[in-house]
Structure 1
Amino acid sequence: MVLKIKLIMKLVKFEHTIFALPFAYMGAVMAAQGIPTAEKIFWITLAMVGARSVAMAWNRLVDWKVDAVNPRTEDRILPQKMLSKGEVILFIIGSLFLLLVAAWQLNSLAFRLSPLAIFLLFFYSYTKQFTWLCHLILGFTIAMASVGSWIAVTGKISLPPLLLGTAVMFWVSGFDIIYSIQDYEFDSNYGLYSIPVKFGPQKALRITVIFHTFTFLLLIAVGYYLDLDWLYAMGVIIVGILLYIESSLVKRDFEKIKFAFFNINSVVSINIFIFTLIDYLWA
Structure 2
Amino acid sequence: MVFSKFKTYGELVMFSHTLFSLPFAIIGMIWAAKGLPSFETVFWILVALTGARNGANALNRWVDKDIDKKNPRTANRHMPKGIVNSLEVWGIIIICFGIFIFAAYKLNPLCFKLTPAALFLFFIYSYTKRFTWACHIVLGIACAGAPVGAWLAVTGKFAFAPFILGAVVALWVAGFDIIYGTQDIKFDRENNLFSIPAAFGLENALIISSVFHFIMIILLIALYFIMDLTWIYLVGIFISAVLLGVEHYIVSPSNEKKMKIASYNINQVISPIILLFTVLDTFIG
TM class, shorter-length:
over 0.9
Task: Kindly state the Cα deviation for residue 236 of structure 1 after the two structures are TM-superposed.
Answer: 1.1
In 2, the alpha carbon distance for the partners of 1:201 and 1:34 equals 43
Shift of 1:202: 1.2
The residue aligned with 1:259 is 261
Given that 1:205 and 1:251 are in contact with CA atoms closer than 8 Å, whether structure 2 keeps it comes out as: no
Is the aligned partner of 1:278 residue 2:255?
A: no
Write the distance in 1 (CA, Å) between the matches of 2:237 and 2:161. 15
State the distance in 2 between where 1:77 and 1:111 align. 32
The range that moved more, 130-139 or 252-261, is 252-261
**Which residue identity is paired with 1:214?**
I
The equivalent residue for 2:205 is 204
1:58 and 2:33 are equivalent in the alignment: no
What residue number does 2:159 align with? 158
Give distance in 2, aligned partners of 1:4 and 1:84: 12
For 1:42, the equivalent position in structure 2 comes to 43
Q: What is the CA RMSD across the aligned residues, in angstroms?
A: 1.2
Q: Percent identity?
A: 46
Aligned counterparts, 1:1-283, within 5 A: 1-250=2-251, 254-255=255-256, 256-283=258-285
Deviation at 1:179, TM superposition (A): 0.4
1:93-130 CA-to-partner distances (Å, cap 9, x unmatched) read 10011001110111111111111001111110000000
C-alpha contact (below 8 Å) 1:35/1:277 kept by paired residues: no
* Alignment CA distance shift 1:129-1:253 (3 Å): closer
Distance 1:8 1:32 in 2: 34
Report the secondary structure of 2:53's partner residue.
helix
**What displacement does 1:254 show?**
4.6
> Which one-letter code corresponds to 2:213 in the other structure?
H
Unaligned runs of 5+ in 2: none
What is the rounded CA distance, in whole Å, between the counterparts of 1:82 and 1:139 in structure 2? 29
Runs (4+) of structure 1 exceeding 2 A deviation are 251-255
Question: Can you list the C-alpha shifts for 1:59-92, whole angstroms capped at 9, x where unaligned?
Answer: 0101100111110111111111111101111111
172-181 vs 32-41, greater mean Cα deviation: 32-41
TM-score by length of 1: 0.97
Displacement of 1:252: 9.3
Is the CA contact (8 Å cut-off) linking 2:32 and 2:154 kept in structure 1? yes
SS at match of 1:227: coil
C-alpha distance in 2, partners of 1:268/1:106?
Answer: 28
Shift in Å, 1:251: 5.7
Shift of 1:222: 1.1
1:97 alignment partner AA? G
Q: Matched residue of 2:157: which SS?
A: coil
